[in-house]
Structure 1
Amino acid sequence: MKFMIIFWTLYMLVFCIPFPIFLYVMIEDISTEPRNSLAISYVYLGFSILIWLYVLFFMINNLLVKTFKEKNAISNIMQNGIPRDAEITNYKLVKYSPKTKTNMIHITFSFRNLKNTLIQQEMMFYDTKPQEKRFDAGNTIKVLLNPSPSKEPHYILSGSQTKFKVNNLLVRVLFIAFLIAYVIGLYGYFYIRESFDFGWRFLTFMHPIIFSGIMFFLTILIVNYIVGKFVKNKKDEYILFAGRNTKATIISVSQTGLTVNDQPQIMFQVSFKDFRGNEHIAVYKKIISLLHLSSVPKNGSIEVLYDENDPKKIMIPKIF
């Protein structure tokens, strides 16, 4: 996750800022005559403002507003969360920090969701008291479930503490301030440089004022709506924490033809009865590692979780 944040930040700082300006300087000559009619220039201007307002709103919302909302959500779960006992099934030491005498650990644990269905989760965090061996395999810990399964986080460890990382927050504020200054500077610099008393009639689609905003917009679109779709499936998350479980009969298993990083997407068609006794046929798609492809069941029965309000929506927590 940290690598992805660094990669996309560098991508934006290179391809969304200097690249559009460099491209414009290479292919456009400064003209002392207007390039467009007054009406078209205002269309371009309005379009650029809308693009930049979206980009700035997205950045402020995701880098600052959501951080405060998540802190409030965790505080709410601490007060109103539904307690569950969780059994630790696997413990792994990732890294030891001699300076702080803490362990970064990865644990796997199971507990019952909001519908009393046993589910499994993984978590990586710093254990500040490793000498107490609280998270060894076989131990039981307390978790608090979010009463609203459609909202994140879905659960927290009991006794969790929330605090802002000052350095992290400062970097976010500085990035947003830089972006706002860049946008203001972009409009101001090119207006002074190219308007020649004709207003905004120097604007074209490839002008940095517009094209730089479009590059930011496309980057946000890729990260948020395409990459994010495969990294985290919100529908699966909801069903995992609020769904009911049952045994389903496998009707068919096939590849969809879609691959992500050369990993195929598999489509399961299953039939099952819900807790009311009604029978349903549902489809579930999941990206499967090539290493586990041979272990995917092709027939027989399999455990599924389903949304009791819409049983067509299912997930398969354990495929192999």
Structure 2
Amino acid sequence: MAFIFLFVFFMYIFPIFFLAVPVVRTTPIVATVLLVIGVILWLVQTYMISKFITGPKKQAKQHKKVQQNGKAVQAEIIAWEHDGLIEGDPSKKILLTFTNLAGSQVKTYLHLVDTKEHEKRFEPGKEITIKLNQKGFEPPFTVGKGEYATSPRPWIWLWLIFNILYMIGFFLASYYFQSDGYGWRFLNPFSSWLWAPVFGIFIINFLLKTLGSQDIISKFYQLTSVRSDKDFGELLLYGKTTQGEIINYSQTGTYINEQPQVRFDVHFLNDRGDLISKKFKQIIPLTDLHQLKKGEAEVIYLPRDTDIFMVKPSQSE
């Protein structure tokens, strides 16, 4: 709730306070240019909001395409855990292992809704058919059978409509309180109507990365290099797995949202037998700090670029 309040406050409430700030007037030409820039910024923000609607639909189409054209392989179920309920049916987080397109045995989590739980289809040791994406990386794979459904998001439509009305209403309010008979010459580079969508674009971009593109596939490997999130699909499809070692780790003293940043030193062998040494930093939840330790680890890396890798300490799964 606190996050939602901050999000709403900085996007829609905080800019209103600046209506009381004295205005620096600009020339008609500058004001008109700023008006056009402002409209463009607000439209960009509105377009980004619409991605919360179009994104899941696009993902569904991509999954169906891979389901039709992907390479079928058998994936073994290692473990599963309950992940809540969706429309009365249990949602499950399933740990799979399968041979990827590079011939390596990789692990990942698959989230699905079990509509026939009585059949016990997803017990450890059983296999399911998955389809690997041979023409891209998004998604890296999908289930061989089953429906990829997207949940309706009516609140996004309300947000979209509100954002458009707010854009117009905020401009009219600014015009009413700040124009003083000079038209829209109240617009200047510091006008809250101009920088409000800039704040919004940054906030929505963050939300899209964390919420908007949630897929049914999630990472098994806990520790990740900076670029592995972006290239996760390629890493899962073409990555090589190997044994590695966490040589050292230590907190950097930096905290993000009260969560500590940790620096890791990792060694692993590539497919040519060369010893690769990597250092990287990652934010670790306070609740997970006690799980960190030096020693053996599972590593998956991309042969074309060993800076793209993920690590899982060997002590637990």
Q: Per the shorter chain, which TM-score range?
A: 0.7 to 0.9
Q: SS where residue 312 of structure 2 aligns?
A: coil
The one of 86, 91, 95 equivalent to 2:80 is 91
The one of 108, 114, 118 equivalent to 2:101 is 114
Q: TM-score scaled to structure 2, two decimals?
A: 0.77
> Any conservation in 2 of the 1:113–1:119 contact (CA below 8 Å)?
yes
1:61-87 per-residue CA deviation (whole Å, 9 max, x = no partner) reads x22332332121011111112222122
Q: 2:164 and 2:286 mapped to 1: Cα distance?
A: 44
Are positions 1:24 and 2:21 aligned together?
no
Which residue in the other structure is 1:305 paired with?
A: 300
> Any conservation in 1 of the 2:77–2:97 contact (CA below 8 Å)?
yes
Q: SS where residue 201 of structure 1 aligns?
A: helix
Q: 1:160 and 1:131 mapped to 2: Cα distance?
A: 17
Aligned identity (percent) is 24
For residue 12 of structure 1, report the CA deviation from its aligned partner: 3.8
Q: 1:96 and 1:65 mapped to 2: Cα distance?
A: 24
Which residue in the other structure is 1:59 paired with?
A: 49
> Any conservation in 2 of the 1:264–1:290 contact (CA below 8 Å)?
no
Q: 1:114 and 1:263 mapped to 2: Cα distance?
A: 36
For residue 291 of structure 1, report the CA deviation from its aligned partner: 5.8
> Any conservation in 2 of the 1:270–1:282 contact (CA below 8 Å)?
yes
> Any conservation in 2 of the 1:108–1:121 contact (CA below 8 Å)?
yes
In the alignment, structure 1 segments of 5+ residues that lack a partner are none
For residue 268 of structure 1, report the CA deviation from its aligned partner: 1.9
The one of 199, 210, 213 equivalent to 1:215 is 199
Are positions 1:105 and 2:102 aligned together?
no
Which residue in the other structure is 1:125 paired with?
A: 112
Q: Which amino acid in the other structure matches residue 100 of structure 2?
A: N
**1:1-320 to 2 correspondence within 5 Å?**
7-8=3-4, 10-21=5-16, 23-25=17-19, 27-28=20-21, 35-60=25-50, 62-95=51-84, 102-148=89-135, 150-151=137-138, 153-165=139-151, 167-168=152-153, 170-191=154-175, 194-205=178-189, 207-223=191-207, 233-248=229-244, 253-260=249-256, 261-272=258-269, 274-276=270-272, 280-288=276-284, 293=289, 296-298=292-294, 302-318=297-313, 320=315
Question: Using a 3 Å threshold, how does the CA distance of structure 1 residues 291 and 196 change in structure 2: closer, same or farther?
Answer: closer
For residue 161 of structure 1, report the CA deviation from its aligned partner: 0.8
In the alignment, structure 2 segments of 5+ residues that lack a partner are 213-223
Q: Which amino acid in the other structure matches residue 157 of structure 1?
A: V
Q: 1:82 and 1:293 mapped to 2: Cα distance?
A: 39
Question: Using a 3 Å threshold, how does the CA distance of structure 1 residues 118 and 163 change in structure 2: closer, same or farther?
Answer: same
Question: Using a 3 Å threshold, how does the CA distance of structure 1 residues 294 and 70 change in structure 2: closer, same or farther?
Answer: closer
Question: Using a 3 Å threshold, how does the CA distance of structure 1 residues 317 and 113 change in structure 2: closer, same or farther?
Answer: farther
Q: SS where residue 84 of structure 1 aligns?
A: strand
Question: Using a 3 Å threshold, how does the CA distance of structure 1 residues 67 and 105 change in structure 2: closer, same or farther?
Answer: closer
Q: TM-score scaled to structure 1, two decimals?
A: 0.76
For residue 197 of structure 1, report the CA deviation from its aligned partner: 4.3
1:83-119 per-residue CA deviation (whole Å, 9 max, x = no partner) reads 221222223345568xx66323332222222222222
Q: Which amino acid in the other structure matches residue 259 of structure 2?
A: D
Q: 1:110 and 1:171 mapped to 2: Cα distance?
A: 37
> Any conservation in 1 of the 2:140–2:236 contact (CA below 8 Å)?
no
Structure (1 or 2) with the larger CA radius of gyration:
1
Q: SS where residue 267 of structure 2 aligns?
A: strand
